[in-house]
Chain A
Amino acid sequence: MNELINTIAIVCMIVVTISIALLLFRVIKGPTNPDRAVALDAIGVNLMGMAGLSAILLVTTRLNDVILLIGILLFVGTVGLAKYLEKGVIIDRDDD
Protein backbone atom coordinates (compact mmCIF):
# COMPACT_ATOMS: atom_id res chain seq x y z
CA MET A 1 0.00 0.00 0.00
CA ASN A 2 2.85 2.38 0.79
CA GLU A 3 4.41 1.80 -2.62
CA LEU A 4 1.09 2.72 -4.22
CA ILE A 5 0.91 5.96 -2.20
CA ASN A 6 4.52 6.76 -3.15
CA THR A 7 3.77 6.22 -6.84
CA ILE A 8 0.63 8.38 -6.64
CA ALA A 9 2.60 11.15 -4.88
CA ILE A 10 5.31 11.04 -7.57
CA VAL A 11 2.69 11.26 -10.34
CA CYS A 12 1.01 14.17 -8.52
CA MET A 13 4.37 15.95 -8.24
CA ILE A 14 4.89 15.55 -11.99
CA VAL A 15 1.42 17.00 -12.69
CA VAL A 16 2.03 19.94 -10.33
CA THR A 17 5.34 20.56 -12.12
CA ILE A 18 3.51 20.72 -15.46
CA SER A 19 1.05 23.16 -13.88
CA ILE A 20 3.90 25.39 -12.66
CA ALA A 21 5.38 25.33 -16.18
CA LEU A 22 2.05 26.47 -17.69
CA LEU A 23 1.80 29.29 -15.13
CA LEU A 24 5.40 30.30 -15.90
CA PHE A 25 4.37 30.69 -19.54
CA ARG A 26 1.65 33.11 -18.40
CA VAL A 27 4.16 34.98 -16.20
CA ILE A 28 6.52 35.51 -19.12
CA LYS A 29 3.98 36.19 -21.88
CA GLY A 30 1.05 37.76 -19.99
CA PRO A 31 -0.21 40.86 -21.81
CA THR A 32 -0.51 43.10 -18.75
CA ASN A 33 1.12 43.30 -15.34
CA PRO A 34 -1.92 42.10 -13.29
CA ASP A 35 -1.84 38.89 -15.38
CA ARG A 36 1.69 38.33 -14.16
CA ALA A 37 0.63 39.00 -10.55
CA VAL A 38 -2.18 36.44 -10.83
CA ALA A 39 0.15 33.81 -12.27
CA LEU A 40 2.78 34.43 -9.57
CA ASP A 41 0.11 34.01 -6.88
CA ALA A 42 -0.94 30.68 -8.41
CA ILE A 43 2.71 29.57 -8.61
CA GLY A 44 3.07 30.17 -4.87
CA VAL A 45 -0.04 28.11 -4.16
CA ASN A 46 1.37 25.29 -6.31
CA LEU A 47 4.62 25.46 -4.33
CA MET A 48 2.63 24.85 -1.14
CA GLY A 49 1.18 21.73 -2.75
CA MET A 50 4.69 20.66 -3.78
CA ALA A 51 5.87 20.92 -0.15
CA GLY A 52 2.91 18.83 1.01
CA LEU A 53 3.65 16.12 -1.56
CA SER A 54 7.32 16.15 -0.47
CA ALA A 55 6.19 15.62 3.12
CA ILE A 56 4.29 12.54 1.95
CA LEU A 57 7.24 11.22 -0.07
CA LEU A 58 9.84 11.73 2.67
CA VAL A 59 7.49 10.61 5.53
CA THR A 60 8.47 13.56 7.68
CA THR A 61 6.67 16.28 9.61
CA ARG A 62 9.35 18.94 9.35
CA LEU A 63 8.01 20.48 6.16
CA ASN A 64 4.82 21.81 7.78
CA ASP A 65 6.55 25.00 8.91
CA VAL A 66 7.70 25.49 5.33
CA ILE A 67 4.09 25.26 4.12
CA LEU A 68 2.93 27.93 6.58
CA LEU A 69 5.90 30.16 5.73
CA ILE A 70 5.26 29.95 1.98
CA GLY A 71 1.60 30.87 2.57
CA ILE A 72 2.37 33.93 4.70
CA LEU A 73 5.10 35.26 2.39
CA LEU A 74 2.80 34.68 -0.60
CA PHE A 75 0.03 36.77 0.94
CA VAL A 76 2.35 39.63 1.89
CA GLY A 77 4.00 39.59 -1.53
CA THR A 78 0.71 39.59 -3.42
CA VAL A 79 -0.70 42.47 -1.38
CA GLY A 80 2.49 44.48 -1.91
CA LEU A 81 2.46 43.79 -5.63
CA ALA A 82 -1.20 44.83 -5.91
CA LYS A 83 -0.59 48.08 -4.05
CA TYR A 84 2.42 48.80 -6.25
CA LEU A 85 0.37 48.21 -9.40
CA GLU A 86 -2.43 50.41 -8.17
CA LYS A 87 -0.63 53.49 -6.93
CA GLY A 88 3.09 53.11 -7.50
CA VAL A 89 3.77 53.38 -3.76
CA ILE A 90 3.55 50.58 -1.23
CA ILE A 91 3.93 52.30 2.13
CA ASP A 92 1.87 55.49 2.43
CA ARG A 93 3.21 58.46 4.36
CA ASP A 94 1.01 61.21 5.74
CA ASP A 95 3.55 64.01 5.47
CA ASP A 96 2.45 65.58 2.21
Chain B
Amino acid sequence: MTGTTTEFIMNILVIVFLITGTFFVISASIGVIRFPDVYTRLHASTKAATLGISGIMIGAFIFLYVEHQIVSGKLILGIIFILLTAPVSAHMIGRAAHSIGIKPWSQDGNTKDEYADTLKEK
Protein backbone atom coordinates (compact mmCIF):
# COMPACT_ATOMS: atom_id res chain seq x y z
CA MET B 1 0.00 0.00 0.00
CA THR B 2 2.70 2.45 0.96
CA GLY B 3 4.72 1.50 -2.12
CA THR B 4 1.87 2.29 -4.49
CA THR B 5 1.10 5.54 -2.65
CA THR B 6 4.72 6.69 -2.91
CA GLU B 7 4.78 5.75 -6.58
CA PHE B 8 1.58 7.72 -7.19
CA ILE B 9 2.99 10.82 -5.49
CA MET B 10 6.24 10.50 -7.46
CA ASN B 11 4.33 10.22 -10.75
CA ILE B 12 2.27 13.32 -9.89
CA LEU B 13 5.56 15.13 -9.14
CA VAL B 14 6.98 14.06 -12.52
CA ILE B 15 3.89 15.38 -14.32
CA VAL B 16 3.95 18.71 -12.44
CA PHE B 17 7.68 19.26 -13.12
CA LEU B 18 7.32 18.39 -16.81
CA ILE B 19 4.38 20.73 -17.38
CA THR B 20 6.02 23.60 -15.48
CA GLY B 21 9.29 23.21 -17.36
CA THR B 22 7.61 23.08 -20.74
CA PHE B 23 5.57 26.19 -19.91
CA PHE B 24 8.73 28.12 -19.10
CA VAL B 25 10.49 26.87 -22.24
CA ILE B 26 7.65 27.99 -24.53
CA SER B 27 7.40 31.34 -22.69
CA ALA B 28 11.13 31.88 -23.23
CA SER B 29 10.79 31.34 -26.95
CA ILE B 30 7.73 33.62 -27.16
CA GLY B 31 9.82 36.23 -25.36
CA VAL B 32 12.64 35.84 -27.90
CA ILE B 33 10.08 36.39 -30.66
CA ARG B 34 8.26 39.33 -29.10
CA PHE B 35 10.89 41.49 -27.37
CA PRO B 36 12.27 44.41 -29.38
CA ASP B 37 15.99 44.31 -28.63
CA VAL B 38 19.04 42.05 -28.26
CA TYR B 39 19.42 42.76 -24.55
CA THR B 40 15.77 42.12 -23.70
CA ARG B 41 15.87 38.96 -25.81
CA LEU B 42 18.92 37.81 -23.81
CA HIS B 43 16.93 38.44 -20.63
CA ALA B 44 14.04 36.26 -21.83
CA SER B 45 16.16 33.46 -23.29
CA THR B 46 18.63 33.05 -20.43
CA LYS B 47 16.40 33.17 -17.36
CA ALA B 48 13.22 31.48 -18.56
CA ALA B 49 14.91 28.77 -20.63
CA THR B 50 17.24 27.90 -17.74
CA LEU B 51 14.31 27.53 -15.35
CA GLY B 52 12.35 25.45 -17.86
CA ILE B 53 15.22 23.10 -18.59
CA SER B 54 15.79 22.65 -14.84
CA GLY B 55 12.15 21.60 -14.47
CA ILE B 56 12.33 19.06 -17.30
CA MET B 57 15.61 17.62 -15.98
CA ILE B 58 14.24 17.25 -12.43
CA GLY B 59 11.17 15.52 -13.88
CA ALA B 60 13.35 13.08 -15.84
CA PHE B 61 15.50 12.47 -12.75
CA ILE B 62 12.50 11.56 -10.58
CA PHE B 63 11.05 9.41 -13.37
CA LEU B 64 14.27 7.42 -13.80
CA TYR B 65 14.53 7.00 -10.03
CA VAL B 66 10.98 5.63 -9.79
CA GLU B 67 11.25 3.45 -12.89
CA HIS B 68 14.81 2.05 -12.65
CA GLN B 69 15.83 2.86 -9.03
CA ILE B 70 18.80 4.66 -10.62
CA VAL B 71 20.07 7.94 -9.20
CA SER B 72 21.39 9.52 -12.38
CA GLY B 73 23.97 12.10 -11.41
CA LYS B 74 24.47 13.23 -14.98
CA LEU B 75 21.08 14.95 -15.09
CA ILE B 76 21.88 16.91 -11.92
CA LEU B 77 25.30 17.71 -13.42
CA GLY B 78 23.54 18.99 -16.55
CA ILE B 79 21.33 21.30 -14.45
CA ILE B 80 24.37 22.66 -12.58
CA PHE B 81 26.26 23.11 -15.84
CA ILE B 82 23.41 25.06 -17.46
CA LEU B 83 22.98 27.20 -14.33
CA LEU B 84 26.70 28.05 -14.43
CA THR B 85 27.20 28.64 -18.14
CA ALA B 86 24.01 30.40 -19.26
CA PRO B 87 24.84 33.75 -17.52
CA VAL B 88 28.42 33.61 -18.81
CA SER B 89 27.39 33.13 -22.44
CA ALA B 90 24.65 35.77 -22.10
CA HIS B 91 27.19 38.24 -20.74
CA MET B 92 29.58 37.54 -23.62
CA ILE B 93 26.87 37.95 -26.28
CA GLY B 94 25.65 41.17 -24.64
CA ARG B 95 29.15 42.63 -24.52
CA ALA B 96 29.76 41.69 -28.16
CA ALA B 97 26.45 43.29 -29.19
CA HIS B 98 27.35 46.48 -27.34
CA SER B 99 30.82 46.60 -28.81
CA ILE B 100 29.60 46.31 -32.40
CA GLY B 101 27.34 49.29 -31.80
CA ILE B 102 23.78 48.15 -31.10
CA LYS B 103 21.88 50.76 -29.13
CA PRO B 104 19.52 49.75 -26.30
CA TRP B 105 15.90 49.98 -27.35
CA SER B 106 13.63 52.69 -25.99
CA GLN B 107 10.20 53.99 -26.86
CA ASP B 108 11.13 57.66 -27.21
CA GLY B 109 14.70 57.22 -28.40
CA ASN B 110 16.74 58.78 -25.61
CA THR B 111 17.96 55.95 -23.40
CA LYS B 112 20.90 56.69 -21.16
CA ASP B 113 23.69 54.23 -22.00
CA GLU B 114 25.89 54.25 -18.91
CA TYR B 115 28.17 51.46 -20.10
CA ALA B 116 29.15 53.51 -23.16
CA ASP B 117 29.83 56.52 -20.92
CA THR B 118 32.06 54.41 -18.68
CA LEU B 119 33.96 53.07 -21.69
CA LYS B 120 34.41 56.62 -22.98
CA GLU B 121 35.83 57.85 -19.67
CA LYS B 122 38.53 55.19 -19.60
Residue numbers of B with Cβ under 8 A of A are 7-8, 11, 14-15, 18-19, 21-22, 25-26, 28-30, 32-33, 38, 41-42, 45, 49-50, 52-53, 56-57, 59-60, 63-64, 67-68, 70, 72, 74-75, 77-78, 81-82, 85-86, 88-90, 92-97, 99-100, 102
Contact = CB atoms under 8 A, between A and B. Distances in A.
B95 A52 contact: no
Contacts of B25: 15-16, 19, 45-46, 49
Given A12-B22, A15-B22, A5 B74 contact: no
A85 B96 contact: yes
Contact of B89 (A55, A72, A82, A85): A82
Contact of A64 (B74, B82, B99): B74
Given A18-B26, A34-B96, A49 B52 contact: yes
A65 B74 contact: yes
Contacts of A83: 92, 96
Interface of A: 1, 4-5, 8-9, 12, 15-16, 18-20, 22-23, 25-26, 32-35, 37-39, 41-42, 45-46, 48-49, 52-53, 55-56, 59, 61, 64-65, 67-68, 71-72, 74-75, 78-79, 81-83, 85-86
A25 B49 CA distance: 17
